Amino acid sequence: MRAAAPVAPGGRGRPRVRFRVRRPPLHVVLLAAIMTAGALARVWGLGWGLPHTLAHPDETKFVSIGLGMGYGDLNPHWFGYPSLFFYLSAAAFAVLYGAGWLAGTFPTLFAFKLQFFLDPSPFHLAIRAVSALAGTVTVLLTYRLGRELGGRTAGLVAALLVAVNPLHVRTSHFGNTDVTMTMFLTAALLFALRARRRGRTRDLVLAGACLGLATSTKYPAAFFAAVLPAAALAPGPDAAAVSRAARLRALGLGLVAMAAAFAVTSPYVLLDWRVTLADFRYLSAIRVEGWPGDSGGPAWLHFLAFSMWYGFGAPFYPALLLAVAALAWRRDRAALVLGTGCLVYFVVMGSGRLAFSRYLVPLVPPLAALVGALAAAPPVVRLARGVAGRAALAVALAVLLWLPAWRAVGQAVLFARDDTRVLVREWIMRNVPSEATVVWLGSGFEFSRPQLPLSRAMWERLIAAGDRPSLLGDRDRRTQWRTAREMLASPGFPPRPNYALLEARRLAEVPAGAGAPVYVVTPEHPLEQFAHVEAEDRRALAERATSLWEVSPLTPRATRAVFEAHDAIFLPLAGFDGVTRPGPGLRIYRLP
C-alpha cells in the first residue's frame, strides 16, 4: 500500500491522503485459486466411510500404533513402513486431544481413550487430515518445481495438473503414507534442481534431508536418491565455476543428511534390526509374488496400462512424450535430474508383481513439472504471442485437464455420500434388538462388513481369550486389553445397543446355539475377493430366511465402473455413471 502525495486544494483545509492498493500479480492470484481448488478437492468428503474404520485397509494400523505411542513407547514394533508417519499420527492425536480438552469434548484422558472404543472416527479423521494437508502443500511445491524447470507459466500448469490429478486427490483422502512421502519427495526434487543450478552445498544438503524424511515415511522414496548425484554432476550455468571436488563434497554431505534424517525420524528401524529384517523379508516376498487378486503380470505393465491410464488420463501420455522430446532436444539438464529419479523409481517399483495404483503418487509432481515445462518450449512461446495461438494452447490445456478433473470431481461426489456400510450399521442399530447375534457371512468380509459396537459378553470373551477385534490393530496387546478392562469397569459401557458378532464363511458354520433370531449380513460387489458369498448359501438364505433390508451402491447403469481388483477400496477410480455411493452391496436377513 503506497500513500499518494498530500493535496490541499487552493492551499486551504487539511491535506487529503490517498492510498493506492497494489494489486497482486496475476500469477499469485492464479496460484491462490489453484491452491484453493486443490485444498477443497482433498478436504471434501474426508470423513468418507466412517465409522467403518477399514474403509481404507491400512488406516487401522496407523491409528493403533500412533495411539500406542501415547503410553511412552516410541518403538512401533512393526517395520512394514518406517516410523515417521507413525510419529506424525501420534502428533495429530496429541493435537486432537488438546483441541478436545479445550472444547470440553475430552475433559479427561480417560474420556479420550473411551472415544476410541465408542467411535474411533476422530482418530481416523486426524491422520486423514495429515494426508490432506500434505497433498495441498504438494500443490504449492509442484508450482515451485515447475517454475524452477520452466518459469512461472510452467509452474502454474504443473500445480494445476497436481491439484486435479484424480490419483493424488483420491490418495489424499487416505490416512496413509503415500501423499506425505510425496510432499517430502517434491521438496527434495526442488532443492536438487536448485543445487544443480546454483551449485550451493546447502541446497544439496536440504535435498538429502528431505529425501531422508521421504524415505522415513515410506521406503521406496530412497530410489529417488539418484537425483543427488545427477544434480551434483550435471551443474547449471551458475554452478559452472564450482569445482568437481566441491560438488563431490556437497554430494557426500547430501547423502549424509539423507541418512541422518532417516535415522533421527525412524531410529528403531536400526535399533530393532532383527524385527526390521523379518519385516523386510516379508515385504520382499510379496513384492516378488504379488498380491492376491492382482493381474498376475509385471507391475510396470499394470502401472502403464491401468494406474496411469485412470490416474493421469489418456491425454497425459502424448503430453508427457512431447515434453520429454522437447526437453531432450534442448538438452535440459534440470529435466535430466527429474527424469533420472522418475526412471529409477519406476523401473525398480515395476520390476516385481506388487502393484497398487497409489504407488505412482510420487511420480505425479515431477511428471506434472515436466509437462508444465512445455510452456517454456520455444515453439509454444512463439505460438502464445498471437490470439489464435493462445486460443489453441488454451484448448490443448483444457483437453489435458478435462478427464482428470472430471474423475477428481466424480470421486469427490462419492466421498461426500454415506457409505453403504454406514447405512447398514444405522439400520441395524435402529431395528435389531441389543445383544442380538449378527453373522457376517462370506469370505473377505473384514473389509466389507459394517462395524457394530460389541456386547459386554463378547468383550469379556475376547479379553479372556487374549484375542482382539480388528479395530484395535495388533500392537502391544497387553496395553490394549488393560485399556479394554478399564472401559468395561466404567459405568454404562458398552453403550446400548450392542451385538454379539460372528464370522462365517459358509452358512453351515453358523452354530445352532447362536440364539434366535439370528441376523445375517451378506456382501456383493465386483471386488469379489473382498465380498464373496457362495451361490449355494445365497439360495439357502432365499429359501429359509426373511430378507429385511438391502442397499446397493451400483445401479444397472454402472457398467463402466473401474475398481482396482486387488485393493479393498470400494470406490471406483473411473466410470462413475450409475455408482451412487461408496461401499459394497449389503443385504440383511433374519433366520428363524
From first to last of its 592 residues, the chain has per-residue pLDDT tens of 445 555 555 555 566 666 666 788 888 999 999 999 999 999 999 999 999 888 888 898 899 888 888 878 889 888 999 999 999 999 999 999 999 999 999 998 888 888 888 889 999 999 999 999 999 999 999 999 999 998 999 999 999 999 999 999 999 999 999 999 999 999 999 999 999 988 889 999 999 999 999 999 999 999 999 999 999 888 777 776 778 888 899 999 999 999 999 999 999 999 998 988 988 898 888 888 877 777 778 889 999 999 999 999 999 999 999 999 988 888 888 889 999 999 999 999 999 888 899 999 999 999 999 999 998 888 888 888 888 888 999 999 999 999 999 999 999 999 999 999 999 999 999 999 998 999 999 988 788 888 898 888 888 877 766 544 333 344 455 566 677 777 888 887 888 899 988 889 999 888 766 566 899 999 999 998 899 999 999 999 999 899 999 999 999 998 899 999 888 999 999 999 999 999 999 999 998 7
- CB under 8 Å to 338, separation ≥6 — which residues? 149, 189, 193, 227, 366, 369, 370
**What's the rounded Cα separation, in Å, for the pair 211 and 225?**
7
pLDDT confidence of residue 484: 73
| CA–CA dist 358, 346 (Å, integer) | 13
Q: State the cell numbers at 127.
A: 491422520
Place of cell 499518494: 4
pLDDT at 470: 36
Q: Hey, how many other C-beta atoms are within 10 angstroms of the C-beta on 278? A: 12
Cis, bond preceding 76 (omega within 30 deg of 0): no
Q: How far is CA 180 from the centre of its chain?
A: 8
Residue type, 243: S
What pLDDT, on the 0 to 100 scale, is given for residue 479?
A: 60
Residues in the chain: 592
The three-class DSSP label of residue 311 is helix
On the CB side of 353, CA atoms within 13 Å amount to 13
**CA separation, residue 69 to residues 66, 106, 475, 484 (Å):** 5, 19, 10, 17
